[in-house]
Structure 1
Amino acid sequence: MWSDATIRVDAVLYDLDRNANKMLYSVVNKNGIIGYIITDNGQTKVIEFALGESPYQNILHKDVDIKSINEKVNKKINLIYDAGTYFYSSDDNRTITKVDVLNNDSLSAVNSTLNDGILVSPRSIWQNINVIPGVPAETNNPPTIGCGPVSAMNLVKYWDSHGYPNLVSDSDTKQILYNKLYSALSCFPFLGDIATLPDSYKEGVRNYTTSHLVTNLIVLRYSSISNSDISILKTEVNNNRPGTILYDDSYRYGLHYVTFVGYAQDLVGDDFYIIHDLWSSTNVYRSWSNDVSDMNFWSIFTFRFN
């Protein structure tokens, strides 16, 4: 739990139809902002939270007091949260601008002693939390920009230190390991980015491990994800087996591979899952039901050794 911290109301958040439907909070201690929370408008359900400042913080300006923040937001700027993506409107709401989280330090990691961001929300306490320890959080920053090979890198490095030491050589830098996985996963340039097809990802990870003398890896791919499939992810986490999620999320992540590392639940029974999103080294908590209802999941990959 984040100890010695208070929760501060920062702003009302709107959807793209200009309806007020979310609330933004900052978690603050004597050192300043250490986390943020987004809830529904009734403050009964946590939609998202993470360590660090919220993606909106550069717009809110951290050097003004809360009264000034509220006046600024209410009179000049509307903050918009829609399908997990951050926007703001200005110029009397004639222009809507997407907040670029890649160029924002909002999600940067802070004091690692904060116990992975587990906290008390405005009206609920987190329970049934399980995070796999020791999963790497490599990012797909240039020149290793392919999310497919970088998400696979997180898994390969994890297994290398958990019983399969042949998977990563002592001479493998991040770039060298990335290049090996890029080839194994049959990645290719596409529209200025790097593409990895789902079946190529599944077979490529297995081919990589086989080529490194680990022949007993089983890779399963799940599509058409439903609410009940949270049980698949929970089973993997409970057995200390990180996996991969491939998003088809046009608002925030786009076509993007991430590493799942855990799950959590609040007292009213809402499920959250925890990822390394490759954009930061912070654990990111996302609502399972929201992502299912928004059809953000393309595939989920699980990995086990027989």
Structure 2
Amino acid sequence: MVLALRVLKAYLVCLLGKQLGVIQMIKKKSGIDVIFAAILIVGLAFLPSVNAQEESNGTDTSNAVSVDIAEEVASYSIKEISGSLSNFSEWANATVKLSTVYYNLANKKSAYSFNVVENNQQVGYIFISATKDNYPVLEFSKGKIPNEIPEFTTRSKSLVQERANEIKLESADKEEPVIGDMKPLYLGPTFYYAEYTLTDKKGKAKEKVIVDLPFSTIVDFNESNVNVSDKKNHYFNNTYLQHQQEIRKKDANAQWITLEKEMTDPSSYSTSSSSKSISGVPKYKWYYGCSPTASGMVLGYWASHGYSYLVTGYDLVRELAYAMGTDWPGSGSTWPYKIDDGIETVCNNHGYDNFDASNDIYVSWTEVKTEVNANKPFVLSMLNGGTGNGYTQPYGEHSVTCIGYYDGNQDYVYLHDTWDTSNVHYLAFGSWTGAMATWVRP
């Protein structure tokens, strides 16, 4: 059921944006086809070991992160963030305060959230992993932590009460169910849940109810029913998920080792950092879908760098949308595997058959730096992308244009994200369940 609900969620985001207030903005952010999300969600729900860590049952606890260590990491990280990202400069003298301890589906700690406090005011938050098998910094933002937003928690309790009333009507003993305290769940960027246990007056557990906080929906992680044709399923299957999990664990372990070494020497802040940004990449606002818009920014760059026969602006985006088979008029969604073909088709249409566009579902940090250092912007398509700086809503299923990076204790990508034509936005590398890069190389 959770899979079907998540697909429905992404689909509604695309189709109902104009009518649903805050979702109006998200509609223009979404664009990767919902089936891409569906296939990878299976892995998120049923491969919880990415965020899981045995703690008290006699198994290895070497990779568990205590709340005290997490607080040290949070304090250290906000100083680096303030020094490396101009939009967070006010965090330079801020402190952190523990907000929430999160768990995963296996009832193991998955993350800690901390409020960032400046002059006794909450100015943002940062999530730190509770296991060294995931990146130290999971996400950060100037907004509010989802489980601290009153309308989210109030609505979740209301939904659970509705479910409790249903159980009361169906229970054999007719005893009134009791709603237990909320247990916060964190399964990765954009996946914030509240779990409640319903009990009767005798204290007997009747049912566990899990609510998706941002979307106020009860979900069931025990069911998943989405059929995807073999032609499309091979692109993002369980082998991919397992490989992504292995890459994440390896990279995360390495980041923790480096971070712990540098934390012992406060004078070493950012001494080994490097950054690079590609100039001249245009900023286009969402049009016809995020994938053609992001691709349009890449080709718009090349149009001013020796390939002047390429059209630019919204004419280019429209042409890319048709070439990619983007659902327009409609949701603006695009099958990921059509992004590279659409780019090559448009280049060929304008007399440039030398462009090589290729999709890469195993995106590494080394590849990101190599492309940017060679002044080659590329398309980054994310599943459950985290929250970029300056936003309170996550990217979710979205394609963006990557135009740079920051390589330090934490790694960030610089983005033109199709939502904003004024600013470059930052996102911690790996703040997604899955991602695909479309390299564009003339």
Alignment TM class, shorter chain as reference: 0.5 to 0.7
Label 1:81 to 1:186 Cα distance change in 2 as closer, same or farther (>3 A).
same
* Cα distance in structure 1, aligned partners of 2:138 and 2:182: 22
Q: Counterpart of 1:96 in structure 2: which amino acid?
A: V
Instruction: Say if 2:276 is the partner of 1:187.
Output: no
The reply on whether 1:303 has 2:389 as its aligned counterpart is: no
Cα pair distance change 1:265/1:88, threshold 3 Å:
same
CA contact (8 A) 1:51 1:282 kept: no
Query: Structure 1 residue 59: deviation in Å?
Result: 0.7
* SS in structure 1 at match of 2:401: strand
The 5 A counterparts of 1:121-270 are 125-126=269-270, 127-140=273-286, 144=287, 146-169=289-312, 172=313, 174=314, 176-188=315-327, 193-223=331-361, 225=362, 229-248=364-383, 256-267=398-409
Identity of aligned residues (%): 22
TM-score after normalising by structure 2: 0.46
Tell me the residue number matched to 2:188.
83
Report the alpha carbon displacement of residue 162 of structure 1 after superposing the two structures with TM: 4.1
Q: Does 2:89 correspond to 1:3?
A: yes
Change (3 A) 1:85 1:164: same
Distance 1:46 1:137, change over 3 A: farther
- How far off is 1:33 after superposition? 5.8
Give the Cα separation in 2 of the matches to 1:137 and 1:58.
34
Query: 1:13, 1:81 within 8 Å by CA — same for their partners in 2?
Result: no
- Give 1:151's aligned amino acid: A
Q: 2:212 aligns with which of 77, 82, 97?
A: 97
CA contact (8 A) 1:262 1:273 kept: yes
> Structure 1: 5+ residue runs without aligned partners?
62-74, 101-120
Alpha-carbon distance in structure 2 between the residues aligned to 1:249 and 1:49: 12
Distance 1:167 1:16 in 2: 48
Q: Which amino acid aligns with 1:130?
A: K
* Counterpart code for 2:99: A
Q: Is the 8 A contact 1:50 1:284 kept in 2?
A: no
| Matched position secondary structure for 1:258 | strand
- Partner letter of residue 303 of structure 1? V
**Amino acid corresponding to residue 242 of structure 1 in structure 2:** P
- When you count helix as a share of all residues, which structure comes out higher? 2
C-alpha contact (below 8 Å) 1:274/1:286 kept by paired residues: no
Match of 1:283 in 2: 425
- Separation in 2 of the partners of 1:184 and 1:81? 38
- Pick the aligned partner of 1:14 from 102, 112, 126: 102
**TM-score (normalizing by structure 1):** 0.63
CA distance in 2, matches of 1:263, 1:95: 37
Q: Distance in 1 between matches of 2:385 and 2:123?
A: 28
Distance 2:121 2:283 in 1: 25
CA drift of 1:20 comes to 3.5
How far, CA to CA, are the matches of 1:7 and 1:29 in structure 2? 7
- Pairwise CA distance, 1:286: 3.2
* Equivalenced residues, count: 255
Q: Does 1:24 align with 2:113?
A: yes
Cα deviation for residue 138 of structure 1 reads: 4.0
CA drift at 1:154? 2.3
Is 1:53 the counterpart of 2:113? The answer is no
SS in 1 for 2:339: helix
Instruction: Report which stretch shifted further, 279-288 or 4-13.
Output: 279-288
Amino acid across the alignment from 1:46: P
Shift of 1:264: 3.4
Deviations 1:164-218 (A, max 9, x none): 444335xx5x4x443222112232369x634433443212112223333444322
1: distance between equivalents of 2:120 and 2:300? 34
Distance in 2, Cα, partners of 1:248 & 1:19? 24
The structure with more radius of gyration = 2
Instruction: Give unpaired runs (5+ residues) of structure 2.
Output: 1-82, 152-179, 198-207, 216-258, 264-268, 387-393
For 1:231 and 1:197, the matched residues in 2 are separated by 26
Aligned partner letter, 1:11: S
CA drift of 1:163 comes to 4.3
Which 10-residue stretch deviates more, 45-54 or 203-212?
45-54
The whole-number CA distance in structure 2 between the counterparts of 1:255 and 1:51 is 18
C-alpha distance in structure 2 between counterparts of 1:279 and 1:264, whole Å: 21
For the 8 Å contact 1:25–1:38, the answer to whether it is kept is yes
